[in-house]
Amino acid sequence: MRILVTGAAGFIGAAVAERLCVRGDEVLGIDSVNDYYQVSLKRDRVAHVEGSAGGRFAFKQVDFADWSALSAALEGESFDRIVHVGAQAGVRYSLENPRAYVEANLMGHLNLLEVARARGSSHMVYASSSSVYGGNEKLPFAVEDRVDHPVSLYAATKRADELMSETYAHLYGIPLTGLRFFTVYGPWGRPDMAAWLFTEAILKGEPIKVFNQGEMWRDFTYIDDIVAGVLACVDNPPADDGAPKAGGSTKVHALYNIGNHRSEKLTRVIELIEDACGRKAEVQLLPMQPGDVARTYADIDAIQRDLGYQPTTRIEDGIPKFVAWYREYHGV
Residue 128 pLDDT level (bands cut at 50, 70, 90) = very high
- Banded model confidence at residue 250, pLDDT cuts 50, 70, 90: very high
What's the confidence (pLDDT) of residue 86?
97
Q: Please state the rounded mean pLDDT for residues 224-248.
A: 98
Q: Identify the pLDDT of residue 290.
A: 81
Question: 185: pLDDT confidence band, cut at 50, 70 and 90?
Answer: very high
CATH number of 2-185+220-261+297-311: 3.40.50.720
Q: What is the mean pLDDT of the chain?
A: 95
Q: What is the pLDDT of residue 91?
A: 74
Give the C-alpha distances (Å, rounded to integers) separating 190 from 90, 194, 204, 229, 328: 10, 9, 18, 19, 16
How is the chain split into domains, by residue range?
Answer: 2-185+220-261+297-311
Q: Is residue 16 within a helix (H) or strand (E), and if so which, with residue range?
A: helix 11-22
Q: What is the mean pLDDT of residues 79-95?
A: 89
Q: Give the residue numbers marked as catalytic.
A: 154
> What local confidence, expressed as pLDDT, does residue 95 receive?
79
Per-residue model confidence (pLDDT) at position 292: 77
Interval 49-53 mean pLDDT: 97
Looking at residue 60, what is its pLDDT? 98
The least confident of 230-239, 292-301, 310-319 is 292-301
Supply the pLDDT for residue 58: 98
Q: Read off the pLDDT band of 248 (50, 70, 90).
A: very high
pLDDT at residue 141, rounded to an integer: 95
Q: Is the pLDDT of residue 146 over 80?
A: yes
- The pLDDT, as a whole number, for residue 252 is 98
Q: Please tell me the predicted confidence (pLDDT) of residue 293.
A: 83
β-partners of residue 124 are 82, 176
Tell me: the pLDDT tens digits for 89-103? 877 788 788 999 999
In tens, the pLDDT along 201-226 reads 999 999 998 888 888 999 999 999 99
